[in-house]
Chains A and B, each alone.
Chain A
Amino acid sequence: MSQVMDADRMSRALTRISHEILERNRGTDDLALIGIRTRGVPLARRIAHTLHGINHEEVHTGALDITLYRDDLMRHAVGPQPLIRKTEIPFSIDDKRILLVDDVLYTGRTIRAALDALIDFGRPKAIQLIVMVDRGHRELPIKADYVGKNLPTSLSQSVQVHLQEIDGRDEVEIQES
């Protein structure tokens, strides 16, 4: 197991991403952050906090659980069903620019499910994707708009993003499995 990002680098990446968001969207009007459970949710809150620090505007945040939209759920029942947690989007996403947040971008299937889920909530003006780590190996035509770190990996490796809010520490690790 080896560390590829420490707390400092993660924090700087989130600050950079926040500035990129402001530059690309010319401010925070109509923006909303939606984190994909589990680790996208605290990341979305941190970005909202950073944006507020720069711009002094509140940006709505929500949490999305994509389990009900997974494409591997009903193919073949293997083992018990995955746990479903609550989706909490306490605002209308119609005509908003939605910033979707996840920790690791890999095959793209989670993001595909998240896009399907979001569309069921309304018709956003645009959806942009933020990830802490892009590790490659896409199986779908999906690309991130904001990336904390591009990390070339092999299929035998696994990438873990640890967050203070959930894991008690900020760290990105890569592991041979």
Chain B
Amino acid sequence: MKKDLLSINDLTRDDIYLILDTAEAMREVGERPIKKVPTLRGRTIVNLFYEPSTRTRTSFEIAEKRLSADTLNIAVATSSVLKGETLVDTALNIEAMAPDMIVLRHASSGAGHLLSRICRSRIINAGDGMHEHPTQALLDAFTIREHKKRLDGLKVAIVGDLLHSRVLRSNVLLLTTLGACVWVSGPATLVPRGMDQLGIRVTTSVDEAVADADVIMMLRIQQERMQGAYFPSIREYFTTFGMTRERVARAKPDVIIMHPGPMNRGVEIASDVADGPYSVILQQVANGVAVRMAVLYLLAGEPEVAD
């Protein structure tokens, strides 16, 4: 493993399997009466979140606490950022207090890479703008493997707002590395240019994407990042791209439906699909803790020296 986890590209295929296997063992810790092991005792981890987050921040914090690390959360709403401090200055000040790791969520793509260059602490990217969200892709892979026992050769359909989605980018890199066959679908206005060069299939027909799929992964319509009119109306989006029971029926009979959250019910996914028998959405959340424990544990070792 490298010093930081900024992108799925930082991981080799073996690293990914090591993280997934370690997460299997970590999950057992969460099933004990005392859900805590002393492994990261005396390590300090700062969760620096510049964007709202419930799931990811809570998940990291629970993972850190289960490993006995000392954790502190900096939410920008209550920090000096409001007084005009830059990301670099905030990071240098935190760094002066000698934490071991910084978990960063930021609205700008590449924020983690910036900190990586100036910080001695290990940096974990917990979502940077429209770029990547590597731990989400890892927990998605863990969840898929739990159900399908493998990843290679699976047809995975990813549907929704492809343009703004960091979850998509991390998942495409990870799933293609592990040999899954990835189809993506969304409105033409929300398909980034060059997508077809990532070794995946791009289509504006959801029905084509989900046909015989083993896994359907829905992406949230990110209205907070949308400044233009990408589609005429929410209702029209739902009719054309929303995941309904009729569309799910085109996939394999044992398909699983995933969503990284937060869900917009009735926008990208129908409520009866989100709560239905194929949905593994809450299992994704549960698995997130074990996968993040694995990442924290493995990053606490000595980093590999770059060649």
Cβ of A65 within 8 Å of any chain B Cβ, yes or no, is yes
| Chain B residues engaging chain A, CB cutoff 8 angstroms | 1, 18, 21-22, 24-26, 28-29, 32-34, 36-43, 67, 297-298, 300-302, 304
Contact A121/B300 with A74-B42, A86-B24 known, Cβ cut-off 8 Å: no
Q: Are A81 and B28 in contact (CB under 8 A)?
A: no
Q: List the B residue with the shortest CB-CB distance to A86.
A: B25
13 A/B residue pairs, CB under 8 Å, sorted by A: A69-B37, A69-B39, A73-B39, A74-B42, A77-B300, A81-B301, A83-B21, A86-B24, A86-B28, A88-B28, A117-B37, A121-B32, A121-B34
Cβ of A167 within 8 Å of any chain B Cβ, yes or no, is no
Q: Are A81 and B24 in contact (CB under 8 A)?
A: no
Which of A68, A77, A78, A80 touches B29 (beta carbons < 8 Å)? Answer: A68
Interfacial chain A residues near B1, Cβ < 8 Å: 80
Which residues of A in the span 63-96 have a Cβ within 8 Å of any Cβ on B? 65, 68-69, 73-74, 77-81, 83-88
Interfacial chain B residues near A85, Cβ < 8 Å: 25
Interfacial chain B residues near A173, Cβ < 8 Å: none
Known: A77-B302, A80-B298, A120-B32. 20 other contacts (CB 8 A): A68-B29, A68-B37, A68-B38, A68-B67, A73-B39, A74-B43, A74-B300, A77-B300, A79-B302, A81-B300, A83-B21, A83-B22, A84-B22, A84-B26, A85-B25, A87-B25, A88-B28, A120-B34, A120-B36, A122-B33
Which of A80, A81, A120 touches B37 (beta carbons < 8 Å)? Answer: A120
Q: How far is the CA of A8 from the CA of B39 in the complex (A)?
A: 40
Contact A80/B302 with A68-B29, A121-B32, A122-B33 known, Cβ cut-off 8 Å: yes
Interfacial chain A residues near B34, Cβ < 8 Å: 120-121
Q: How far is the CA of A122 from the CA of B37 in the complex (A)?
A: 14
Q: Are B25 and A74 in contact (CB under 8 A)?
A: no
Number of A-B contacts (CB under 8 A): 56
Expressed in whole angstroms, the minimum distance between the Cβ of A28 and any Cβ of chain B is 25
Interfacial chain A residues near B39, Cβ < 8 Å: 68-69, 73-74
Expressed in whole angstroms, the minimum distance between the Cβ of B21 and any Cβ of chain A is 8
Q: Are A87 and B33 in contact (CB under 8 A)?
A: no
Contact A74/B37 with A79-B301, A79-B302, A80-B304 known, Cβ cut-off 8 Å: no
Which residues of A in the span 102-119 have a Cβ within 8 Å of any Cβ on B? 116-117
Expressed in whole angstroms, the minimum distance between the Cβ of A155 and any Cβ of chain B is 26
Interfacial chain B residues near A68, Cβ < 8 Å: 29, 37-39, 67, 297
Q: Are A80 and B301 in contact (CB under 8 A)?
A: yes
Expressed in whole angstroms, the minimum distance between the Cβ of B291 and any Cβ of chain A is 13
Q: Are B25 and A84 in contact (CB under 8 A)?
A: yes
Q: List the B residue with the shortest CB-CB distance to A65.
A: B25
Q: List the A residue with the shortest CB-CB distance to B29.
A: A68
Q: How far is the CA of A72 from the CA of B132 in the complex (A)?
A: 34
Q: How far is the CA of A80 from the CA of B28 in the complex (A)?
A: 22
Which of B26, B42, B298 touches A81 (beta carbons < 8 Å)? Answer: B298
Interface-centre pick from A73, A81, A88, A122 (highest chain B CB count, 10 A): A81
Interfacial chain A residues near B18, Cβ < 8 Å: 83
Expressed in whole angstroms, the minimum distance between the Cβ of A74 and any Cβ of chain B is 7
Q: Are B38 and A116 in contact (CB under 8 A)?
A: yes
